[in-house]
Amino acid sequence: MSAAPLIDPFHRAISYLRVSVTDRCDFRCTYCMAEHMTFLPKADLLSLEELDRLCTSFIGLGVEKLRITGGEPLVRKGILTFFEAMARHLQTGALKELTLTTNGSQLGKYAQALADLGVKRINVSLDTLDPAKFAQITRWGRLPQVLDGIAAAKAAGLRVKINAVALQGFNEDEQFSLTEWCAREGHDLTWIEVMPMGEIEPARLGQYWSLRELRRRYEDRYSVTDLAERTGGPARYARLEESGQKIGFITPLTHNFCESCNRVRLTCTGELYMCLGQEDMADLRAPLRASPDDALLEQAIRAAIARKPKGHDFDYSRQSVSGQMTRHMSHTGG
């Protein structure tokens, strides 16, 4: 396979691949999916062996960071065999980081095995520490199970970053209690603006909480210092000087982070989305299955990267949403 790196039309090197291994999840978070979701037929999903081949092709083309997502990735049957397959690229040094984003429900079962396979850090989605509110926002989730999973990850030596979606009227009152809990537990915390994806009902418009306002609230209580640090994702970081902890801000609406985008997203059906906020995608399943040789697949990957747009068009106004994506976040991967 050619060693020429993947460079998009705006001279960004693509070194980060997010891979959704399933659209299924054991939660039904209100901002992510409908309560009664229609999931893909299992026959439509790529096999774990096919996902291995696809990811290996991307790694051969210069991808150095692989994040496994879903749905909830740890509900995919046999998922550890896929992590085992990817671990071989860590061992050769071709892959610099293998990680995942999870809702935490299965970490009690898998945390130690993931650590043993070379996973060093994980992101856990957690929007509230209130059990009743947690049940409300996830519909099916139980907070104690997730907290036990996070504890298991910490015990296994995994670095945990908490991802919290900022939701007006829901967790505004927990900004500081969640921050202080993360400080006590040694977890980093990143806040994310809710994105206009999937079925947007009028109530969803009212959920939008600008991270500019959230940051101003931090500045009223703490000395906040911007950090130059980047971890390969879209977050911008600041340090709360009084606690020393790092806070991340993912702001697709109040601050478009596209100028430094180095990532693409692969779905469990082989669709490659060059931008989370655009509908354009490339079908990699067809070239993958057309030949056991990877020449067609590499050609398709390069053609897709050549179409990567400069940025997305997410925008909220008072009464409507611009740049809305019809697909649910669980389809593309968080």
- Let me know: does 158 contact 137? Beta carbons within 8 Å: no
First to last CA, the chain: 30
- Let me know: does 218 contact 224? Beta carbons within 8 Å: yes
Residue 263 annotated as part of some ligand binding site: yes
Task: Summarize pLDDT for 85-109 with one digit per residue, the tens.
Answer: 999 999 999 999 999 999 999 999 9
Task: Summarize pLDDT for 148-161 with one digit per residue, the tens.
Answer: 999 999 999 999 99
- For residue 248, whether the previous peptide bond is cis, meaning omega lies within 30 degrees of 0, is no
Residue 182 annotated as part of some ligand binding site: no
Average pLDDT, the chain: 89
Q: What's the CA dihedral at 152, 28, 37, 98 to 10 degrees?
A: -40
Instruction: Please report, rounded to a whole number, the percentage of residues in the chain having pLDDT higher than 70.
Output: 85
The H or E element that residue 183 is part of is helix 175-185
User: Phi-psi region for residue 78, left (φ > 0), alpha (ψ -120 to 50) or beta?
Assistant: left
- CA 66-264-162 angle, to 5 degrees, is 55
pLDDT at 231: 65
User: What is the arithmetic mean of pLDDT over 77-91?
Assistant: 98
Q: Residue 52 contacts by C-beta under 8 Å, 6 or more apart in sequence?
A: 82, 85, 86
Residue 139 annotated as part of some ligand binding site: no
Residue 204 annotated as part of some ligand binding site: no
Residue 260 annotated as part of some ligand binding site: no
Residue 31 annotated as part of some ligand binding site: yes
Residue 261 annotated as part of some ligand binding site: yes
Residue 317 annotated as part of some ligand binding site: no
Task: Kindly write down the DSSP assignment for every residue of 92-158, as one continuous string.
Answer: HTS-SEEEEEE-STTHHHHHHHHHHTT--EEEEE---S-HHHHHHHHSS--HHHHHHHHHHHHHTT-
CA–CA dist 46, 13 (Å, integer): 26
Least confident of 62-66, 169-173, 265-269, 316-320: 316-320
- Between β-strands 271-273 and 236-240, what pairing exists: parallel, antiparallel or unpaired? unpaired
Residue 274's alpha-carbon distances to 14, 202, 217, 289, in angstroms, are 10, 29, 34, 21
- Let me know: does 193 contact 251? Beta carbons within 8 Å: yes
Residue 25 annotated as part of some ligand binding site: yes
Place of tokens 């007006």: 168
Q: Where are the domains of the chain?
A: 16-332
pLDDT at 48: 98
Residue 124 annotated as part of some ligand binding site: no
Task: Summarize pLDDT for 4-14 with one digit per residue, the tens.
Answer: 889 999 999 99
Residue 32 annotated as part of some ligand binding site: yes
Q: What is the pTM assigned to this prediction?
A: 0.88
Task: Summarize pLDDT for 200-258 with one digit per residue, the tens.
Answer: 454 555 678 999 999 999 999 999 999 998 766 678 999 999 999 999 999 865 445 56
Q: Residue 8 contacts by C-beta under 8 Å, 6 or more apart in sequence?
A: 14, 274, 305, 306, 308
Residue 29 annotated as part of some ligand binding site: yes
CATH of 16-332, one of 2.40.50.140, 3.40.50.2020, 3.20.20.70, 3.40.50.280: 3.20.20.70
CA–CA dist 8, 133 (Å, integer): 42
What are the start-end ranges of the E strands in 183-311?
188-193, 224-227, 236-240, 245-250, 263-266, 271-273, 281-283
Instruction: Please report, rounded to a whole number, the percentage of residues in the chain having pLDDT higher than 90.
Output: 74
Task: Summarize pLDDT for 258-307 with one digit per residue, the tens.
Answer: 677 899 999 999 999 998 767 789 999 999 999 999 999 999 999 999 99
